Structures are given as structure tokens and as C-alpha cells.
Amino acid sequence: MNYLSLILIIPLAGAGLLVLFEQIKKYLIKMKINANSLNHVIANIVAFGVFVFSFVSIFANGIWTLNQTTDGLLEYGQLQAILITIFSFLVWMAVLFSVEYMKGKNGLGFYYALILTLLSGLSAVTMANNFFTLFIGWEMFALSGYTLVAFDRMKRGSVEASLKYFIMSTVGSMFVLLGTALTYGKFGSVNFAVVRGLAGTEPITGAIIALFVIGFGVTSAVIFLNAWLPDAHSSAPSTISALLSGIVVKAGAFGIFRTIFSAFGNGYLLSTTSAFITWIAIFTMFEGNFLVFYQFRRKDIIDFKRILAYSTTVHLGYILLGIGAGTAAGVEASIFHILTHSLGKGSLFLLSGIIIAAIGSRDVREMKGIGRRSPLVGIFLTVGLLSLGGIPITGGFYSKLLIIISAFDGNHSVVLNILIVIMAIINSLLALGGYLYILKYMLFDEPDAKTADKIKIPIVQTIVMVTIAVLIIFLGIWPDSILHLINLIVV
């Protein structure tokens, strides 16, 4: 059996086992077996196992391989190895964090089963070498995502947010499905390599590309297609918010990458589509920053998780900007930013779970000076926000810098490249202003006397947060530790 097939099989098998245990929970209790502890153990073993397989494959690429012929359904190379490692690591951190975060919740087996199914779907999307396999994996992780957003179904707004996510994502999926059907009708195949060899500059080709970009753009939360994002992020459990922002929206960007590079990336098509993606990226950044600052003017609630959600839109703009450069260096910079943003934003959403549990509110105004109530909270908040803001000695600094450099050397005219870089820097400064304001308010301002009690963080959650914070600093001090591996990606 091919070892790498375990990346898909292990999470699905683990999910099935967890559902079975949830169904026979009452019998396990009679046998004096703690069903919840069993769920925690199995979910962590499975998530960690996928992470180990994918991580080792980064260094053993060429030893463990999947079918890479045009007749196969999947492919595996350095790109897939790195992305699945990022996805599985954040899933493992979320699962480990859930040991304390989900304590006392019902349906724990279903919760973990959905997370593992989400991981399997994301892996299938990453490993797909054709639009049909990609669509199957897409629906797998999307269905899990809808359900996880509404997991706290008794919580106000959860079901509504899940329904909005479901409706918008389903419409996006229909665009992708229509694009897949037209691709097969036009080229007689949905395989990326075959389509790339046949694609021309006919109007129907442009229409197909537009369908895919719109469909994938819903999940990647590009401009005007991200209405589902703030509701889903703010209403979901914080562990799920970390996964949605950290890895799920990246699948949309990966779908766009597959469209304009892998399937329609020949000659004139690439220069045209990459310019189109670049402008989408720039306008997405501006929209995200505008919506972040608009949150600070709200009178009802300044929702911390909603601010983080809109911030994700800004960073998806950066990831698309690297892809839109139309060069291998741009793609590599985007992959690195996927890693640093996943760590930074994942840590902040997990931290939001700790803070909300401590104060019982998502309102930033209730979090004044909260960093003073716990040195650890202050450290995690500082590292996460500074990395997102692109401050040196954090991983976010180097990933943003590489994207801006790739945009300057992009596959466009010199004047356009300079204009793009200027707008990217402006958006970076705008985003940094928002992060520094939050940091100042939550870390340096004096907390209210009534909320000055110390915050205690459970040991398991502390381990998760420290691990992510150390990785962010490590990538900022020694970025070449991963960059030399990312540079092996062939696009």
C-alpha cells in the first residue's frame, strides 16, 4: 500500500471510529470507560499522525509518492507536502487545545469527527490533479465546516451564521461545478496538465476561468464575496474559527492558484489572469482594512473575533498578490505567508477562546488592559498581532516582505508593478495601525477595577499557545529553515 494514501485514509478512519464511539457512549459508560477521554486521545493521535506523515514527506519527497500520471486522480510533491503539513499542524493544535476548551460539551465525538473530515477534505483538495477530484474534496471540507460553525447550536447566531456560510459556499461550489463541466465539454478532460496543453485564448476559456475564480473566491473571502466570513468566525467555537481563518480560506486561494497556474497557466493566459488576480488582491486588502476600522466605530459591540475575521480578508489579499505576480517566487512567497498567517491568526483565535471564557464577552471594550491580568495573555497577544502586522523578528515580516518583492518583480509592466507595491505597502501600514491600536488597548491601558482579576490558562492550552508563539519567532529569526524547502516547489 502506498504510504501517502494514509494522509487521506487515517483522518476518515479516525472520524468513523469517533462517530461509532459517540453512538455507543452509554455502553462505554457502563464499562466504566470515559468516552470523552477516549475521544480526546483518538483525535489527537490521528491529527498528530497525519502531521508526522506529511512533515516527514517534505524531506523524503521522491521516496513516498502517489500516482503522478495524467490518468491518476492525485499527485504529491513538495507543494502538497508543505501545505498538508501546515493544515495538519494547525488541526492538531486545535484538537489539543480542545481538550480543555470543549470540556463538558456534548457530542464531542461528532465534533472531532467533523474536524478530521475537514482535514481529509483539505488534503484531497491539495493533492488533486484535476478539477473533479478537487471538487469532491472541496465539498467534503465544506460540509464539515458548515456543521462545525453551528456546533454550539443553542448559541445565538450560530445556526444563522452556518446557514449564511452554507448558502454562499454552495453558490460558489455551483460556479466551480459549472466551470468543471464547461472545461470537460471544451477540452475533453478536467486534468490540469491536459487542460494546460489545450487551453487557448477563446472567450469561453475566459468565462471558465472567471467561473472558477468566483467559485473559489467565495471560500477565499475575496472582495464582495466574504459576507459569510465575519458571522461564521465570530459565532463558531474559537477552535473552529482558528481553522476557518488559518487553513480553510487558504483552500480557496489554492483553488485559484490551481486554476491560473496549473490548468490555464500557459503563455498569454497566465499574464492576463495573473493581472486580474492582482487587482482582486489589492481591492480585497482595501475592503478588509476598511471593514476592520469600521468595527471600531460600532456602538453595539466591537467584536474581537469579527475584527480578526476581517483581518483575514486583508491577508488573503496578500496571498493572492503573490499568486497574481505570475512567477514561481510569488507562489513561494504566498506559501510562506500561508504558514505565517496560519500560525499568527490561529494563535489569536485560540487566544480569543481563552479571553472570552475568562470575561464572558467578545467585546473589545470589555478586554481593556487584559494583557496585564495575565503575562502569558500579553505575550501571546503581542507575538500574534506583531506577526500579522509584519514586524521584524516575527515570521509575518519575512512573508510580507517576500510577497512585496515578488510583486515588484511581477509578470506585469514596471509602472504597474510599482503601483501595486505602493498599494500593498499602504494596506500593510493600515493593517498595522489596527493591530497596534488593539495591542495598546488590551495590553497597555489600565484594566477596570472590576475586571482586574488574574486569568488562569489551563496547562494544555498554555502548551499549544507557547508552541505556536515559539514557531512564529523561530520563523522570524531563521526563515531559511523553511524557505529553502519551499523553494523546491515546482509550479
Quote the distance between the C-alpha of residue 313 and its chain's center.
11
- Identify the pLDDT of residue 475: 94
- Identify the pLDDT of residue 70: 43
Residue 340 maps to a domain = no
Note the residue count of the chain.
491
Q: Are 205 and 199 in contact (CB under 8 A)?
A: yes
C-alpha cell at 435: 493591530
Cα 292 to Cα 230: distance, rounded to the nearest angstrom: 10
Q: For residue 444, what is the enclosing H or E element?
A: none
- Identify the pLDDT of residue 118: 95
Cα 105 to Cα 67: distance, rounded to the nearest angstrom: 42
Number of Cβ within 10 Å of residue 26's Cβ equals 8
Domain extent for 73: 1-149
Q: How many domains does the chain have?
A: 1
Residue 226 maps to a domain = no
Residue 213 maps to a domain = no
C-alpha cell at 348: 489569536
Q: Are 368 and 445 in contact (CB under 8 A)?
A: yes
C-alpha cell at 419: 503601483
Residue 245 maps to a domain = no
Cα 299 to Cα 365: distance, rounded to the nearest angstrom: 11
- Identify the pLDDT of residue 61: 55
Number of Cβ within 10 Å of residue 204's Cβ equals 12
C-alpha cell at 51: 502531521
- Identify the pLDDT of residue 24: 78
Residue 99 maps to a domain = yes
- Identify the pLDDT of residue 51: 94
Residue 51 maps to a domain = yes
Number of Cβ within 10 Å of residue 329's Cβ equals 18
- Identify the pLDDT of residue 449: 58
Cα 79 to Cα 218: distance, rounded to the nearest angstrom: 23
C-alpha dihedral over 305, 147, 341, 215, to 10 degrees?
Answer: -110
Beta bridge partners of 64: 61
Mean pLDDT per 10-residue segment, the chain (491 residues): 74 91 76 78 93 86 48 80 94 93 84 94 92 92 91 80 91 94 92 85 88 92 87 88 91 92 80 87 93 86 88 93 89 94 94 88 84 86 93 92 91 87 94 91 75 77 94 93 86 69
C-alpha cell at 200: 487557448
Residue 122 maps to a domain = yes
- Identify the pLDDT of residue 136: 93
- Identify the pLDDT of residue 3: 62
- Identify the pLDDT of residue 452: 55
Number of Cβ within 10 Å of residue 359's Cβ equals 16
**At residue 303, what are phi and psi to the nearest 5 degrees?**
-75, 115
- Positive or negative: CA dihedral 290, 294, 296, 301: negative
Residue 23 maps to a domain = yes
- Identify the pLDDT of residue 272: 82
- Identify the pLDDT of residue 88: 95
